[in-house]
Amino acid sequence: MTQLRIGSRESRLAVIQSEIVARYLESKGVEAPLVTMKTTGDKILDRSLDKIGGKGLFVKELDQALRDGRSDLSVHSSKDLPMVVEEDLPLLGFSQREDPRDVLVLPLGCTQWDRSKPVGCSSRRRMIQLQDLYPDVTFQGVRGNVLTRLNKLDAGQYGALILAAAGLKRLGLEDRISRYFTTEEMIPAAGQGILCVQGRKDGDYHVLNDFFDPEATACILAERAFVRRLDGGCSSPIAAFARMEGENLRLRGLYYSETTGRHRVGALSGPVSEPELLGIRLADQLKAAVEEEEPAR
């Protein structure tokens, strides 16, 4: 195949991420034009994702373009992927991981965090963990792409934003980062920093084999298995982050119970050859531990 058309969201970050895959394909002699489109999730910005249908709204149009033959593959931020993927559009593989951490971003020109203003954040995962670190912090929802959120921050709507380091670095905006949260302080979303390539079940994508990263693949399989086991969607404050430790994989996760109002963080190690089993085991352990506790008052 001399051409593979890449389906991408229209946002600047999505285009940059798709161009990473395009450059690799072009280095292998394959033309890789981008087919950009605005997804439903990009269009509806006045409501939180859990109110309008979840993360699937960011891939719906891209999936349809694959099925219609308007594109040959799609590039996604792995953290934005639904946990259940249609059989006819398999996940082909995963890129090497960029910085997985969450970061604090202050208004342009500010060096001190004004905590009298709310933090712009719509992620319950981030809210719970930030409140563990700063109990006095308040939040206000924020939607839109990274650049839109930064514009709202700089206009004075928020005292700070919590964003993913990977997106800011890919956009060349690393200088906006005021503070990095370690993955122990704030466990990332499953797949954060990893790109995923999706295609058609009957497609020939062998040219991408060397693009995919075995370490990132093992990590994300464990992370996604953890979230899937807990029925975690876009609105669920569930987090998972895996890293290699020699021949083993160490997975750290956060589970929040809607029933008890409590959350628990834990970690577990296991063989890298069984990443999904590791995710399932940790999920079961944390769920059992949280739901044995008394409900929060």
Residues belonging to the active site: 80
Cα–Cα separations (whole angstroms), residue 247 to 99, 183, 256, 272: 22, 21, 30, 6
Neighbours of 285 (CB within 10 A): 16
Beta strand residue intervals within the chain, DSSP E = 6-9, 34-37, 73-77, 91-94, 102-105, 119-120, 139-140, 160-164, 177-180, 195-199, 239-245, 248-256, 263-271
Q: How deeply is 50 buried, as exposed, middle or buried, from its count of CB atoms within 10 A (0-12, 13-18, 19+)?
A: middle
Phi-psi region of 191 (alpha: psi -120 to 50; beta: other; left: phi over 0): left
Please tell me what DSSP assigns to residue 182.
Answer: P
Neighbours of 183 (CB within 10 A): 17
Q: Dig out the tokens for 46 from the structure.
A: 């006045």
Q: Is the dihedral of CA 215, 218, 222, 228 positive or negative?
A: positive
Q: How deeply is 286 buried, as exposed, middle or buried, from its count of CB atoms within 10 A (0-12, 13-18, 19+)?
A: buried
Q: Dig out the tokens for 9 from the structure.
A: 């969201």
Nearest to 187 by CA among 120, 128, 229: 128
Identify the three-state secondary structure at position 73: strand
